[in-house]
């Protein structure tokens, strides 16, 4: 007969996969900086199972999951703290921090919200993987998460939390806000960046799309992303041409366009200024540019959807942004007046 310690060890070993599969808080209660392929496989499988048993309309207390994708400190944490203040029951936060960088825990509402992560590189499939980990973690962690907003350390809110929450849950009928474009001038060059026929047969050229890396997805579309394997096999292939293929700008628009184009607005809610930019980096706002007028201008969209967030702001912009936060950004009357004008 086995001794008691051996029985205990054997029981723990057998039950560990079940703990990983069903424990709802396992991923987000502490900062676990590194993840493995095995962990990712388990994570996406858990998220797919969880999503299959929950829908977009099963909760009376819907929340927004804010997914922070970063490789440096969250410089604007104090501004986001002010944004979130008073609404703790209506949101959750998840942070994917590049483990090769030293990213400090900002504390407050961000405390211990780091998920197991891997190194990320610009214009590589690693950014797709990071966003998928964030979506999967949020799907598993809380069934009340109904919208999933991907932002970076350079993003700032343009409106109050109350406005953002009301806008998403009262106006959109659970559509996803993701930019989906099919007429970009260099679209074909991006399509063949992995090889002329590398994307076939899963992704014919006429189905290939491009869009902003930053999105706000409804829960049903977050589930589509975490359970996808077919398109991921193609978009994880390395580029073989000099033209950067920017897979993080292609995978999500292409996948959701093919799966449920009518369920997506085709527009992003994150404003980015590409005026005069040619090297793949958007305009970086500096402290001298920050003003209530800038915030009002950044909210305005050419579509019927306002911008709720904006990037790319330098860390030094924190002080002037905090100075105008109460009256220039989070003022409820000003929010409503500006958007309705």
Domain boundaries in the chain?
38-271
Percent of the chain's residues with pLDDT above 70? 85
Q: What is the structure's pLDDT at 319? A: 98
Using CA atoms, how far apart are residues 225 and 145, in angstroms rounded to an integer? 15
Q: What is the structure's pLDDT at 56? A: 58
Burial 134-168 (b: 16+ CB within 10 A, else e): bbbbbbbbbbbbbbbbbbbbbbbbbbbbbbbbebb
- In 3D, which of 225, 217, 253, 252 has the Cα closest to residue 43? 225
315-324 pLDDT tens trace: 999 999 999 9
76 phi/psi in degrees, rounded to 5? -100, 20
Evaluate whether 29 touches 112 at the Cβ level (below 8 Å): yes
Q: What is the structure's pLDDT at 249? A: 95
Averaged pLDDT for residues 196-213: 97
- The yes-or-no verdict on residue 4 having pLDDT over 60 is no
Averaged pLDDT for residues 285-301: 97
- The yes-or-no verdict on residue 306 having pLDDT over 80 is yes
Q: What is the structure's pLDDT at 279? A: 72
Averaged pLDDT for residues 291-312: 96
- The yes-or-no verdict on residue 209 having pLDDT over 70 is yes
The whole-model pTM stands at 0.88
22-73 pLDDT tens trace: 443 334 434 455 677 888 999 999 999 999 887 655 568 899 999 999 999 9
Q: Which residues lie below 8 Å from residue 58, measured CB to CB, with a gap of 6+?
A: 143
DSSP-derived 3-state class of residue 196: coil
Q: What is the structure's pLDDT at 330? A: 97
Q: Which residues on neighbouring strands pair with residue 218, listed in sequence order? A: 147
- Residue for token pair 């992995």: 194
């Amino acid at each position: 007969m086995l001794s008691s310690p051996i029985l205990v060890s054997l029981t723990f070993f057998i039950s560990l996969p079940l703990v990983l599969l069903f424990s709802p808080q396992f991923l987000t209660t502490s900062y676990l900086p590194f993840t493995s392929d095995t962990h990712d496989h388990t994570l996406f499988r858990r998220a797919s199972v969880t999503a299959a048993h929950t829908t977009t309309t099963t909760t009376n207390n819907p929340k927004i999951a804010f997914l922070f994708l970063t490789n440096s400190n969250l410089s604007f944490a104090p501004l986001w703290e002010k944004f979130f203040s008073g609404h703790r029951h209506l949101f959750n936060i998840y942070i994917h921090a590049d483990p090769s960088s030293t990213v400090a825990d900002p504390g407050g509402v961000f405390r211990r919200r780091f998920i197991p992560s891997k190194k990320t590189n610009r214009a590589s499939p690693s950014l797709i993987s990071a966003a998928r980990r964030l979506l999967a973690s949020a799907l598993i962690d809380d069934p009340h998460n109904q919208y999933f907003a991907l932002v970076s350390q350079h993003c700032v809110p343009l409106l109050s939390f109350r406005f953002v929450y009301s806008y998403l849950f009262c106006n959109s009928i659970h559509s996803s806000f993701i930019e989906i474009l099919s007429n970009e001038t260099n679209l074909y060059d991006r399509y063949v960046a992995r090889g002329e026929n590398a994307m076939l047969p899963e992704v014919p050229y006429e189905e290939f799309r491009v869009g902003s890396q930053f999105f706000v997805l409804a829960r049903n579309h977050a589930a589509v992303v975490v359970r996808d394997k077919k398109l991921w096999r193609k978009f994880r292939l390395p580029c073989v041409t000099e033209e950067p293929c920017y897979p993080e700008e292609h995978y999500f628009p292409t996948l959701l366009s093919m799966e449920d184009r009518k369920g997506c607005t085709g527009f992003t809610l994150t404003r980015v200024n590409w005026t005069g930019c040619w090297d793949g980096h958007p305009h970086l706002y500096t402290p001298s540019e920050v003003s209530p007028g800038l915030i009002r201008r950044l909210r305005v969209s050419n579509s019927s959807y306002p911008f709720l967030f904006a990037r790319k702001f330098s860390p030094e912009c924190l002080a002037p942004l905090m100075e105008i936060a109460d009256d220039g950004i989070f003022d409820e009357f000003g929010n409503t007046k500006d958007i309705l004008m």
